[in-house]
Amino acid sequence: MRSRLLQPETPLGEIGERELVRHLQSRIPLGPGVVVGVGDDAAVVELGPLTLVTADSLVEGVHFRREWSPPRLLGRKALSVNLSDIAAMAGVPRHATVSLCLPPETTLAFVDGLYDGLLERAAETGVNLVGGNLSASGNAIVVDVTLLGEAERIVRRSGARVGDLVVLTGYLGAAVAGLRLLLQGARLDEEGELVATGMWTETSAEAVAHCLRAHLDPRPPLTFARALSERDLVHAAIDVSDGLSGDLQQLCQASEVGATIDGAVVPVDRHAAGLERARGGDALSLALNGGEDYELLLAVPPDGVGALRDLAVVWNLPLTVLGEFTSGPEVLLKRGETVAPLPAAGHDHFRTLRSDPPAAGGGG
């Protein structure tokens, strides 16, 4: 029985917390390995032998804006940014809790759209939603997901060795290009279809839609990452969330090594590169410093690259050898004959906000 209060445009201030909790509970299925799902003091799950846990928030005005993030895509992304972290440990994602801070004027349609995305993405990736928390907030929506995973064997950031190759999955730069397009008025609808190209003409529609999707609905290489856990091909891994330059430095610091990568081989997303060149920009810089790509950066022993490539073919996943890990400690970028330090120019939440207060964007 659906309460007469539960109309799509009803603000939460009229529905009330308990009614909303009951409504959301009725939407969430009980999955495998879940002993107690939503609706008790805590969820109870079966996991093992190792339990992975990661948490990541999407904050309105920082990571998204309501006017450009359809709630369904926001729900998908809130889970995806956490899936990326479990993937970077070669873990299997299993159970998630969702903490929402919502201003009282938020509508039920927004919350239901958000849960459409969360439930859909959870179903795609074999994750159970097992609980969470609802709280009012003054004026900004916060979607905070904690994701539990399991593994028998994990891949850490700290395992890279001198001589290992720096290997990247996929292409870089589309997500940050998408963020720029959003700032210029380009939009996707709830279904991820292009509804406004912003300052671009219809001839760029495919590239615009591709970059918007990369920003609003990222797809980390989850099943490839899961396959890594079953093989001993990779010494270290990190997900590229803050930008290649920053995340490579993180990996190097954790492993106490340096790295040299070749700018000429950095795989820039072709749509992002096309748009960037059209506006006279530097596509490589987009790929080095953009952030939110949610690809994997791996340290691979040279004799393991062949087997890794064979594996990636199964998922049609491009792999690029960017360079190699060195005794360091510097992270260097080769551009033609020049080799120079690569500054970690990735996203910094507190600094970005200071210089650009009401903007949005930035890795998890």
Q: Taking CB under 8 A as the criterion, which residues in 49-68 touch a second copy?
A: 49-57, 59-63
Binding to a second copy by CB under 8 A, coded x per residue (else -) over 164-183, reads --------------------
By CB under 8 A, name the one of 41, 67, 191, 337 that touches a second copy.
Answer: 41
| Residue (4 or 279) nearer to a second copy, CB | 4
What is the number of alpha carbons within 13 Å of residue 86 lying toward its C-beta?
A: 32
CA–CA distance, 343 with 241 (Å, rounded to integer): 16
Place of tokens 């990369």: 214
| Residue (154 or 332) nearer to a second copy, CB | 154
Question: 286-322 burial string, b = 16+ CB within 10 Å, else e?
Answer: bbbbbbbbbbbbbbbbeebbeebeebbeeeebebbbb
CA–CA distance, 176 with 211 (Å, rounded to integer): 8
Radius of gyration of the chain (CA): 21
Contact between 83 and a second copy (CB under 8 A)? no
Measured in degrees and rounded to the nearest 5, phi and psi for residue 157 equal -75, -20
205's tokens: 């529609």
Question: 34-62 burial string, b = 16+ CB within 10 Å, else e?
Answer: beebbeeeebebebeeeebebebbbbbeb
Burial class (CB in 10 A: 0-12, 13-18, 19+), 172: buried
CB of 145 to a second copy, least distance (A): 9
Q: Please, what is the Cα angle at 76 between 75 and 77, to 5 degrees?
A: 90
| Residue (50 or 195) nearer to a second copy, CB | 50
CA–CA distance, 272 with 173 (Å, rounded to integer): 6
Contact between 345 and a second copy (CB under 8 A)? no
By CB under 8 A, name the one of 85, 112, 276, 292 that touches a second copy.
Answer: 85
| Residue (25 or 277) nearer to a second copy, CB | 25
- 124-153 positions binding a second copy, by CB under 8 A: 130-140, 142, 144, 146-149, 151
By CB under 8 A, name the one of 4, 9, 32, 48 that touches a second copy.
Answer: 48
By CB under 8 A, name the one of 5, 7, 8, 17 that touches a second copy.
Answer: 17
Candidate ranges 1-9, 16-24, 71-79, 321-329; the one touching a second copy (CB under 8 A): 16-24
Measured in degrees and rounded to the nearest 5, phi and psi for residue 76 equal -60, -45
Binding to a second copy by CB under 8 A, coded x per residue (else -) over 181-210, reads ------------------------------
CB of 350 to a second copy, least distance (A): 4
CB of 158 to a second copy, least distance (A): 7
Binding to a second copy by CB under 8 A, coded x per residue (else -) over 245-284, reads -x-------x------------------------------
| Residue (104 or 163) nearer to a second copy, CB | 104
5's tokens: 């209060």
- 213-252 positions binding a second copy, by CB under 8 A: 237-239, 246
